[in-house]
Amino acid sequence: MLSDRQSENISAPRKRIRELGIRLGTMEPGLHNAITDVEGVRVGHATIIKGEGQGATRTGLTVILPHAGDIYQENLFASYFNLNGWGEMTGIAPLVTTGKLQTPIFLTGTYNVGIVYDAATEYFLKNHPNLAGSDEIVHPVVAECFDDFLSDTQSRQISEEDVFRALEKAQSGPVEEGVVGGGTGMTSFGFKGGIGTSSRKVGTKYTVGVLVMANTGSREEFRIDGVPVGKEIRGFEYKSGKTKSIILVAATDAPLLPFQLKKIAKRVALGLAQTGAISHTGSGDLIMAFSTANKIPKSRSHPYLKIKCVSDFWITPIYQAAVEATHEAVVNAITTARTIIGRDGNTAYGLPLGQVKDIMRKYLRIRAGNHE
C-alpha cells in the first residue's frame, strides 16, 4: 500500500535540479545543460518497457555519438579511469593503447552487453564495408549497470533493432533523462535512478558535458550540494537489494590529449563523490572522457597531423567544469527519474522533489523568495 504522499509522488512531474531553483557549483551550464552542449555530440535512447510482474522488462540502451561526423572514420582522443572495477566497459584495452575512441559509446543493462556488442559490430560492418579489412578491427565501447531489481535481466530483452533504433534517433539538443534508454531499469541512492546529464562552460572557449547512467549508492549517502538529502528524506522506503554501478562519460571540445583526458576522468570521480557516493565494492564505477577538438582520420595521406593541446598549466578550470557537471548530471539522473514498478512488482520511487526543496531550503541552498 502506498501512502497518500507516495501516491502523489508517482504522478508528480519530474524536474531537473536546476528547475527546482538549486544551482550546483559556480560555473554556467551550456545551452541545454547537457552533454550535447559539446558541439557534435549526439545522444539516442531505446527504452524497453514490457510486461508486469514476473518477467517484466525495464531496460534499454543509451548511445552517445561522440561527434557530428562518422566516429569510425574520424577518431577522437579519449581515456578512461577505473574508479571501482566491478563492471564492464568493453573496448577499453585498445582505447587506452591507441589513445583513441573509435566507436559510439553504448550504455545498457549488464546482461545485454553481448547483444549490444554484436549489434554494434553489425552496424559498423554494414555501414563501413571498406573499413572492415584485417587492419581495421573495431572494438565497440559497451558499458553496463545491473538493472536486475526492476527488470528480468536474464531474459535479455534487447535486440539488434533496438540498438539500431537508438543510433538512428541519436540527436543533438536537449537530452531526455531519467527513466529512459539504458537508465530505464536503474536505481540509485535508494530511489529510481537512470540517465542524467549536465554541462559547464569554461569561459567562452570550451564546454564540458557529462552524461551518466546512475545505478549506484545507498540512500543515506546521497548529498546534493553538500546537503545530506538522503538522511533527511522521510518515507518512500523500499528494499532494493543492492544498487550497482555507475557509468560516467565526459565530453569536451577543449583540445586535450589522452593523458589529460585521464585526468578529466579522475575529476569526474570527484564530481561523483560530491553526490556522497563512496563507490561500493560491488559497484562498477567506470569513467570515460573524450575530446572532440582533434579529429584523427582513420586513413591518413600525410604522416603528420597538426593537433592542439591545452597546456596543463591552464587546465584547472576544465577540471572544475568536469566536477560540477558530473555532480549535477548524477543529481539530474535521480531528480528526473519517475517511480517505476518493475519485475515481480518491485518498486523504485522517484525522489520526492517537494521534500528535496524543503530540505534544500532548510540548509539555505534555496534563498527565500527565490522561486523556480
Active site residue 283: yes
> Can you tell me which of 42, 263, 327, 338 binds other proteins, judged by CB under 8 A?
263
76/66 Cα distance (integer angstroms): 8
255 interacts with other proteins by CB under 8 A? yes
Locus of grid cell 546521497: 222
- Please say which residue, 97 or 154, places its beta carbon nearer to other proteins: 97
Stretch that binds other proteins, among 36-44, 48-56, 155-163, 256-264 (CB under 8 A): 256-264
Cell numbers given for 179:
527513466
- Please say which residue, 22 or 95, places its beta carbon nearer to other proteins: 95
Greatest CA separation for the chain: 68
Burial call 156-177: b when 16+ CB within 10 Å, e when fewer = bbbeeebbbbbbeebebeebbb
300 interacts with other proteins by CB under 8 A? yes
Q: Is 197 helix (H, G, I), strand (E, B) or coil?
A: strand
Stretch that binds other proteins, among 35-43, 90-98, 147-155, 208-216 (CB under 8 A): 90-98
Site string for other proteins, 266-295 (x = CB under 8 A): ----------------------------x-
204 interacts with other proteins by CB under 8 A? no
Which among 214, 235, 221 is positioned nearest to 347, based on CA atoms? 235
258 interacts with other proteins by CB under 8 A? yes
362 interacts with other proteins by CB under 8 A? no
110/240 Cα distance (integer angstroms): 17
To the nearest 10°, report the CA torsion of 365, 246, 192, 361. 0
Of all helices (H) and strands (E), which one includes residue 117?
A: helix 113-127
Q: Is 199 within 8 Å of 335 (Cβ atoms)?
A: no
305 interacts with other proteins by CB under 8 A? yes
Cell numbers given for 133:
579489412
Of the candidates 172, 188, 245, 291, the residue annotated as catalytic is: 245
CB atoms within 10 A of CB 141: 26
Site string for other proteins, 308-347 (x = CB under 8 A): xxxxxxx---------------------------------
Active site residue 285: yes
- Please say which residue, 312 or 344, places its beta carbon nearer to other proteins: 312
Query: If phi over 0 gives left and psi between -120 and 50 gives alpha, with beta otherwise, what is residue 230?
Result: alpha
> Can you tell me which of 307, 316, 362, 372 binds other proteins, judged by CB under 8 A?
307
Q: Is 228 helix (H, G, I), strand (E, B) or coil?
A: coil
259 interacts with other proteins by CB under 8 A? yes
137 interacts with other proteins by CB under 8 A? no
CA distances in angstroms from 96 to 193, 213, 266, listed in the order given: 29, 22, 15
Of the candidates 172, 198, 199, 283, the residue annotated as catalytic is: 283
91 interacts with other proteins by CB under 8 A? no
Query: If phi over 0 gives left and psi between -120 and 50 gives alpha, with beta otherwise, what is residue 217?
Result: left
Q: Is 210 within 8 Å of 271 (Cβ atoms)?
A: yes
Stretch that binds other proteins, among 112-120, 231-239, 259-267, 283-291 (CB under 8 A): 259-267
Please count the residues of this chain forming the interface with other proteins, following the rule CB under 8 A.
Answer: 26
- Please say which residue, 234 or 306, places its beta carbon nearer to other proteins: 306
Active site residue 253: no
Contact footprint for other proteins (CB under 8 A): 96-99, 255, 257-259, 262-263, 294, 296, 300, 302-314
Give the catalytic positions in this structure. 245, 283, 285
